[in-house]
Amino acid sequence: MTDIMTPEQRHRCMAAIRGKDTKPEIIVRKYLFSRGLRYRVNVKKLPGSPDIVLKKYGVVIFIDGCFWHGHKGCKHYRLPSTNVDFWKAKISRNIARDYVNNVDLNLAGWKVIRIWECEIKTKAKREETLQTLYTQITSNQHIQKTKRIKKQKSRTYDDYPDDFNIAAEPDVDWYGE
C-alpha cells in the first residue's frame, strides 16, 4: 500500500484507521464547547458512530474526510493513479454506507449534519462553517423523541422514506469524470 499513496493520503489513512481525535473534529468540538453546547463524541451505539452527538437538540454530526467520503469536485478528493477501480469501489461503498446511516438516523428521529473536512481546514471557510453549524444545531425545530435504533437485519424496505433513491451502484459522476 505504501507506494500508491501520497504522504498526505497516507497520513489521512492512518488518521482514519485510528478513527478518533483527528484535527478537524477537535476544532469543531472546541468551538461547540466554547458556544456552551455539550455533547458526546464517537457514539458507537448509533449508526456510523457519529463524531458528535447533541442529544438535547436531537442532532448528530459527522466530520467527513474529503477523500474517504468522496467529496465531489473537491481538490482533496484525488484518486491515486494506480488501483483506480479499487479506490472507486471502496469510496463508493463508503458513500452508500453514509447514505444508509443518514436514513437510519433520520428514521430514529435524529437530524444529521455532515461537514466536509475542507470546510474546517481553511481558516476563511472555517468561521462561516462553524457559525452555520451552531445555527443549524440550535434551530433544530423538529426535535423528536429519538428512538432506539433497530439492528439492520430487522429493517425492511418499507422502513425507508419514499425519497430513498440510492442505487446499489452510486453514480460514477461523483468522481468528477
Q: Can you give the binding site for Zn ion, defined by CB under 5 A?
A: 66, 71, 74, 76, 116, 118
CA 97 to each of CA 37, 59, 109, 162: distance values in angstroms, whole numbers, following the listed order = 28, 19, 18, 18
Per DSSP, what are the bridge partners of residue 114? 62
Q: Which is nearer to Zn ion, 118 or 133 (CB)?
A: 118
- Quote the least distance from Cβ 161 to Zn ion, whole Å: 27
- Quote the least distance from Cβ 74 to Zn ion, whole Å: 3
- Quote the least distance from Cβ 33 to Zn ion, whole Å: 24
Helix (H) or strand (E) holding 82, with range, is: none
Q: Which is nearer to Zn ion, 69 or 111 (CB)?
A: 69
Q: Which is nearer to Zn ion, 76 or 114 (CB)?
A: 76
CB contact at 8 A, 82 and 29: no
CB contact at 8 A, 71 and 96: no
CA dihedral 16, 160, 140, 94 (to 10 degrees): 10
Q: Which is nearer to Zn ion, 101 or 129 (CB)?
A: 129
Closest listed residue to residue 101, CA positions, set 141, 64, 140, 73: 64
- Quote the least distance from Cβ 176 to Zn ion, whole Å: 12
CA distance 121 to 127: 10
- Quote the least distance from Cβ 67 to Zn ion, whole Å: 9
Q: Which is nearer to Zn ion, 15 or 118 (CB)?
A: 118
Residue 7 Cα to chain centre, angstroms: 23
